[in-house]
Structure 1
Amino acid sequence: MLDREEDILESQRIRRVLLTGLINLTIRTNYLTFNGNIYEQIFGLPMGSPLSPLLANAYQKEIEENFKRTPLQPAVLMRYLDDYFAFWSHGREKLEEFLNFVNQINEKIKFAMKAEEGEWLPFLDVEVIRSNGTLKNKFFKKKSYAGIILNFRSHHNYRLKLEIMSMIIRSLRLTDVEFWDKELDKLTRIFLYNGYPSEVIQRNIRAVKPNGRIGTIKEQ
């Protein structure tokens, strides 16, 4: 991995042996206690370490280099951390072969696959819809999602409640405008169910809705 970053090492005047030594010290000296016993972590990166995401991302790039060894490859391959989204045009059988190859790169790292069903596919928080040769997006919620958030009447800081609202409303930015009306209705019902006043809902949704236009929200 360091071979591709040689220019960075030179610009920062960092000796390769020193850097690798520091990295090894960080990831190989991790201990935990359980039932009064001390254990050493012998595999994987330490949870909570600022270095872990950086190294995991670098290792993912190494895995991707192995993808090039296959005769058939995805037409498009995109990644967010360790989740991939790909376009495959070689048939389901060849896709299974590609997955089997990927899962042989490292015996301790296995990928699972979910293929498109009914012209849509969930990816992270987005529902990707294939429609007439184009891709459309909607905010994706699992079927188990019950719409329960911090109740507005709880004794938590008011700013925290607004931040929770803002976080949920930002899901609209993952949604194509043509789906906004339905998504707004769902969000409104969630907020009202959890005790949020209609004027607070309107004010926060107005901040992200195109043209700032929004109908009156009635408490239910």
Structure 2
Amino acid sequence: MPLRPIVSSVGSIMYNSAKYLAKVMSPLVGKTNHHIKNSKHFAGIKDKTVNEDEIFVSNDVSALFTSVPVGKTLTVIKDKLSTDTTLSQRTPLSADRVTRLLELCLKCTYFVYDGQYYLQIHGAAMGSPVSPIVCNLYTEHFESLALSTAPTLRVGGSVLWTTLIPSKQLRQYVNEFTDHINSIDPDIKFTIEKEDNGTLAFLDTNTVRLIDGHLKTTVFRKPTHTDQYLDFNSAHPEEHKLGVIRTLHQRAEVVTSDPTDLKAEIKHVNKALNVYNYPRWAVNKVKKHLLKRKDQSRRKTSDRKDSKGSVT
């Protein structure tokens, strides 16, 4: 049974250094045209249309954190730091020293299992604060290399990769492109998932192709999902329980693009919460808070537009 060790690094010898590096390096992430911040950002795909003879495909890295090659990653990050003109505003350390400290963080992942000490010798630790940034930076570099060297595809656009080839040949080239990205780095391997009946899961969303070529998004749940949540009668702080409601309702609002689907999703969420004894007052309290935040956000957006359009 293959296992990936997920070990909390809180209190470990390199934890504070990793937190510091995460703040120093985070501005480097997201500089590509295809960067997706979160599910809300991705849900913007609903504004796009697809042709009848085009297909949806997603590629996913297998075991990304534990597969990232540390040596290559350090070289990529050092190059980015060396050309970052704002680095001195975030740290007094040079690019060389930041890279050296990062190397110590990535190569000092010790943990104990069954009384035996182990050292992770490949990839980034899944419990380190700096690992997500390290993986993002390497995959952005990988993506740029993959798209620039693809032998049969020209890829462009934003939010998603758009294949600029004859649509009749698309299915053949999809497999070719997957083979191509799997040939670039022996440590990084991709799986491929194609749409099923016009639907493809990505992040927390199901992207659905409509008959007219427009898209809609709904909340995605894995087949193993059981709607099991923290019981309201448990001895947890009330804020944790309200957080469960808030998270589920926010996800529904952010991800679900069709009003009818949203109504059904909220009904599903409330039914699941009722099973775990969540009272109506708690749900209403969270809904009122979310509506208030949404109204404040609209006002800020409106104020910004007014200030830009005003003449003094």
- Give the TM interval when normalised to the shorter protein: 0.7 to 0.9
How far apart, CA to CA, are the structure 1 residues paired with 2:86 and 2:156? 36
Compare relative contact order (CA 8 Å, sep 6+) and give the higher one, 1 or 2.
Answer: 2
1:152 aligns with 2:241: no
Q: Unpaired segments of 5 or more residues in structure 2?
A: 1-75, 296-312
Preserved CA contact (<8 Å) 2:217 2:258 = no
Q: How many residues align?
A: 206
Residue 110 of structure 1 and its aligned partner are, at CA, apart by 1.0
Alignment of 1:41-60 (within 5 A): 41-60=120-139
How far apart, CA to CA, are the structure 1 residues paired with 2:273 and 2:83? 51
How far apart, CA to CA, are the structure 2 residues paired with 1:197 and 1:182? 20
Residue matched to 2:188:
109
- What secondary structure is seen at the aligned counterpart in 2 of 1:39? strand
Letter of the 2:113 counterpart = F
How far apart, CA to CA, are the structure 2 residues paired with 1:28 and 1:135? 44
Residue 20 of structure 1 and its aligned partner are, at CA, apart by 2.8
Aligned CA distance change for structure 1 residues 143 and 42 (closer, same or farther; 3 Å) = closer
- What secondary structure is seen at the aligned counterpart in 2 of 1:112? strand
| Residues 112-131 of structure 1 deviation map (CA, whole Å, 9 limit, x = unaligned) | 11111211111111111122
TM-score normalized with structure 2 length? 0.58
Aligned CA distance change for structure 1 residues 119 and 207 (closer, same or farther; 3 Å) = farther
**1:136 pairs with 216, 219, 232, which one?**
216
Task: Give the share of equivalent positions with the same residue, in percent.
Answer: 24
Residue matched to 2:282:
200
- Of Structure 1 and Structure 2, the greater helix share is in 2
Letter of the 1:176 counterpart = S
TM-score normalized with structure 1 length? 0.80
Aligned CA distance change for structure 1 residues 107 and 188 (closer, same or farther; 3 Å) = same
RMSD over aligned Cα atoms: 2.7
How far apart, CA to CA, are the structure 2 residues paired with 1:133 and 1:98? 24
Aligned CA distance change for structure 1 residues 87 and 143 (closer, same or farther; 3 Å) = farther
Preserved CA contact (<8 Å) 1:153 1:195 = yes
**2:110 pairs with 17, 28, 31, which one?**
31
Residue 38 of structure 1 and its aligned partner are, at CA, apart by 2.9
Q: Unpaired segments of 5 or more residues in structure 1?
A: 79-84, 213-220
